[in-house]
Chains A and B, each alone.
Chain A
Amino acid sequence: MQTNAKLGTKIANVIIIFILILVSLTMIVPFLHLISVSISKPEYVYQGAVTISPKGLYFKVYEAILKNESFLKAFYNSIKYTAVGTAINLVLTCMCAYPLNKKFPGKKFFTLMLVLTMFISGGMIPNYLLMNYLGILDKIWVMVLPGAISAYYAFIMRTYFLTISEEIEEAAKIDGCSEIGILFKIILPLSKPIFATLGLFYGIGHWNNYFGPLIYLNSKENYPLQLFLRNILVQQSEISSIDRELFTKYRQQFNPTQFKYGTIIVSIIPVLLLYPYLQKHFTKGFMIGSVKG
């Protein structure tokens, strides 16, 4: 009996480890393949001989990507939209969240106004017509203003503000500090963690956003990275012109697939660099969410 149970445990262990390795491989192998293809010699890629290790090192593709104007412009635009967008997000969300902990006439109305936006929206077409009417289509404003405050994040921030002791605030009030003074001198310095968390939430949203740019931007010079990626990976509309450009520049045939895969790798590097922070804050984030729910 005893040995049987032990044997069973061992077999179970092996099966579990085997499955977990298999699952992990489905996440690692695609990236290994992308890297391998992007740094292999083009002839091997044409033969379809590259799987998960590079064949013949060849880094010209990365040089080509980092010198490609459309890519650089798109990368720059993404950084711009993310930085400006997140800054606006944090300032406005804070301005929205702070009063929600206070008493003022009309608070119920305002709270209801916020909650409703979590469940009802005008929809794609009315939104598009509004941006058109406001005259911000194809401008940076259409990337950073429409999602400026998420009601859900505002409530998370408000909950965080609640944890700051009221006594400190009372003391400051007695000393003649105004509401705005309390916000700047007491609440904000104590709230850096929640700003970091929500900044990452909003930031990754901007960085990964492709649907907004797709419907609101027309000119190529305003495209962010995600639209550039869509054009070379999904639409493939851009790739032939890039191919021609590469050929004239480097007098050597690249495999366009190498350019695509290299671009994916370069695009996820910023996300990978931030990954430990993202993971930390997102885990914390769903804990806040689950405690609340």
Chain B
Amino acid sequence: MSTNIIRNKKFTKLKHEIYEAKYLYILLILPFAYFVIFHYLPMYGIIIAFKDYNVFRGIIKSPWVGFKHFIDFLTDSSMPVLFKNTFLIGIVTYLFSGWPNVIFALMLNELKNGIFRKTVITVTNIPNYLSVVIVAGMAINLLSPTDGLVNILLQYMGIEPIHFIVQKAWFIPIYVGTGIWQGLGFGSLLYLAVISNISLELYEAADIEGATRINKAIYITIPHLLPTFILTMIMAVAFIIGPSFEKIMLLYTPATYDVSDVISTYVYRKGLTQGHFSYAAAIGFFNSLLSLAFVLGTNYASKKVSEYSMF
């Protein structure tokens, strides 16, 4: 009897709270609908990875096939290459991330706060806002063997034109290089901000002790940058598995598929250009699980090691 009353009381309280918040619920109707439709319905749609999706039958009526597509993929002859490329591109990108920004920030820090420094920062930050199409398009055209600037300059130096875009050896350098080109200036701003927070007294004390500029950089500036740098690098591990396939889609050609085709570009070609929806969805799902595992693993590790975590 008494539990009933308590339950009733709780229920009236809940009813009252809901009534009080009625305007909040009205505000939330559209956002809630948005997340259900555009985020959770596609997650439900992943079940086609376990079915033989047929456009005319729809998702529900298509027959179940269990793990057939996953097994097909894992035994597919192109699978080892896709995995190799996904990891290799991710790891090389990772190895060339972070430290160029730090070095660039350290060099900027050595300059007096004048027009030259401001100009360098302004100029190097522009590429950050260009679209990946413009960056890749510029790279392809400037590297073109017929009228690209790079080959014009190479010819001045007496070097034969190189057809960069169709050569396997050049794919990763172009991919990573355009990434550094685009991100260098903006990426260094974070470290410049950290440097500007270092207490000036430290440098003054070092001056009195007779420290040179290189001493000060090594013993004061770099140690202060280290925590931010390490944290950034730990977090970046999470994204090794997900190279920017938007850029790969623009930069790769059939001639370089051996080194440039990654899991997500393969999903695009299988699914959207060839129409193997279920098979492609299965690969995509597998890829998402893998990258989620990377994110969670990295987060767990960084929590253990450095008490920093994303969530």
B264 near A120 with CB under 8 A, answer no
In-complex Cβ contact of B190 among A95, A121, A272, A286 (8 A): A286
State the CA gap A123–B277 with chains docked (Å): 12
In-complex Cβ contact of A148 among B23, B34, B124 (8 A): B34
In-complex Cβ contact of A125 among B25, B129, B152, B284 (8 A): B284
In-complex Cβ contact of B152 among A24, A51, A278 (8 A): A51
| CB neighbors of A among B21-47 (8 A) | 21, 23-28, 30-32, 34-35, 37-46
- Is residue A267 contacting chain B, with contact meaning CB distance below 8 A? yes
Closest to B131 in A: A208
- Is residue B193 contacting chain A, with contact meaning CB distance below 8 A? yes
- Is residue B181 contacting chain A, with contact meaning CB distance below 8 A? yes
Closest to A25 in B: B123
**Chain A interface mostly:** helix
State the CA gap A123–B153 with chains docked (Å): 43
Residues of B with C-beta under 8 A to A287 = 193
- Is residue A234 contacting chain B, with contact meaning CB distance below 8 A? yes
State the CA gap A277–B219 with chains docked (Å): 36
**Chain B 99-121: CB-based contact to A (< 8 A → 1; otherwise 0):** 00000100110110000100110
A230 near B14 with CB under 8 A, answer no
| CB neighbors of A among B247-273 (8 A) | 249-250, 264, 267-268, 271-272
A26 near B28 with CB under 8 A, answer no
Residues of B with C-beta under 8 A to A8 = 212, 214
How far is the CB of B302 from the nearest CB of chain A, in Å? 11
What is the number of residues of chain A that contact chain B, defined by CB distance less than 8 Å? 89
Residues of B with C-beta under 8 A to A211 = 246, 249
In-complex Cβ contact of B129 among A92, A121, A209, A275 (8 A): A275
What is the number of residues of chain B that contact chain A, defined by CB distance less than 8 Å? 92
A24 near B123 with CB under 8 A, answer yes
State the CA gap A271–B21 with chains docked (Å): 42
| CB neighbors of B among A241-284 (8 A) | 255, 257, 260-261, 264, 267-268, 271-272, 275, 278-279, 282-283
**A13-B110, A117-B39, A234-B140 as given contacts; A104 in contact with B24, CB under 8 Å:** yes
Residue numbers of A with Cβ under 8 A of B are 5, 8-9, 12-13, 16-17, 19-20, 23-24, 26-30, 33-34, 45-46, 48, 51, 92, 95-96, 98-99, 102-105, 110, 113-115, 117, 119-130, 134, 145-146, 148-149, 154, 178-180, 183, 204, 207-211, 214-215, 226, 229-230, 233-234, 255, 257, 260-261, 264, 267-268, 271-272, 275, 278-279, 282-283, 286-287, 290, 293
For the complex of A and B, the 10 pairs showing the least CB-CB separation, nearest first, are A122-B42, A233-B137, A126-B45, A208-B131, A104-B21, A96-B31, A123-B284, A179-B23, A125-B281, A126-B42
List 16 A–B pairs whose Cβ atoms lie within 8 Å, in order of A's numbering: A16-B111, A26-B181, A30-B138, A30-B142, A95-B30, A117-B35, A122-B42, A124-B272, A126-B41, A126-B48, A145-B34, A179-B27, A234-B136, A234-B250, A283-B189, A286-B189
